[in-house]
Chain A
Amino acid sequence: GQQVMQIPQYQHVQEGEDFTTYCNSSTTLSNIQWYKQRPGGHPVFLIQLVKSGEVKKQKRLTFQFGEAKKNSSLHITATQTTDVGTYFCAGPESTNAGKSTFGDGTTLTVKP
C-alpha cells in the first residue's frame, strides 16, 4: 500500500533558526495537505497543494510540491516559539482519492 514518510522525525532549533521538513510518498499523489498539531491538541489544516511544482507561502511558512507529485516540503523561516508542534503531511493516492495516508510527522521544538 501507499507509504508516506517524513524526515526528520524530530527537530530542535533555537528561536530564529530556519526549519524544514520533507515528505516523500511511495506513490503519486493527487494533492498534498499539511497539518499542524500542537502539543495536546488535534491536527489543524494548514494548506493544500495540487499542481506539480506548486509553491505556496503563508507568512514565514513556504510549502512546495514536487514536480513528480511524490514529495513535498515545508520550510519555516526564523522560527518562533509559537511554531512548536508536530507537522504532518497527508496525501490521497491519485488512484484512490478517498484514502489519505498521513506521514508520521516531524515534531518541532523551539528553544527561546
Chain B
Amino acid sequence: KAGVTQTPRYLIKTRGQQVTLSCSPISGHRSVSWYQQTPGQGLQFLFEYFSETQRNKGNFPGRFSGRQFSNSRSEMNVSTLELGDSALYLCASSLGTGLYEQYFGPGTRLTVT
C-alpha cells in the first residue's frame, strides 16, 4: 500500500505571497490532519478533515485554511505569508478520528524569505 504523499517537498516563497500544499492519504483513509513543525514549537495541530468536513481546528490565524476532496485528498493554503510561517508542514492520514494511529507524509519544507 502506498504511503502518504505530499507535494511539493520543498518550497521557497516571499513574504506576502500565498501557498497551497497538497496531501494524498493512504488509500481507504478518510481522515487527514495537518501539523506545523518548527524547531522551537514542536508539532502544532492545524486542522483535521474527515469526509470533506473540517472536524477540528488548532489555534492558528485565519490565513491558514484547508479543504478535503471527495477522494480524501487534502490541501492546505496559507495566504499572506509571514517569515514565521517557515516550517515543515506535515500531513497525516488515518482511518478515522482519535482512536486510530496516524501515518505521516514526508512533509513540505516551506521557507519564507
B residues with a Cβ closer than 8 A to A are 31, 33, 35, 42-43, 45, 48, 50, 55-56, 58-59, 90, 92, 97-99, 101-107
Contacts and interface: CB of A to CB of B under 8 A. Distances in A.
18 contacts: A30-B98, A31-B98, A31-B99, A33-B101, A42-B90, A42-B106, A42-B107, A43-B92, A45-B102, A45-B103, A88-B43, A90-B43, A92-B97, A96-B98, A97-B99, A99-B45, A99-B98, A100-B98
Given A42-B90, A43-B43, A99 B107 contact: no
Q: Is the interface of B mostly helix, strand, loop or mixed?
A: strand
Interface residues of A, number: 25
A66 to B, nearest CB: 18
Contacts, number: 65
Given A99-B55, A103-B42, 11 more contacts: A35-B104, A42-B90, A42-B105, A45-B102, A48-B99, A90-B43, A97-B98, A98-B48, A98-B98, A99-B48, A100-B98
Interface of A: 1, 30-31, 33, 35, 41-45, 48, 50, 88, 90, 92, 96-105
Contacts of A105: 42-43
A98 B56 contact: yes
A98 B45 CA distance: 11
The A interface, classified by DSSP as helix, strand, loop or mixed, is strand
Contact of A100 (B42, B102, B105): B102
Contacts of B97: 92, 97-98
Task: Count chain B CB atoms within 10 A of each CB in A50, A98, A102, A104 and give the residue with the most.
Answer: A98
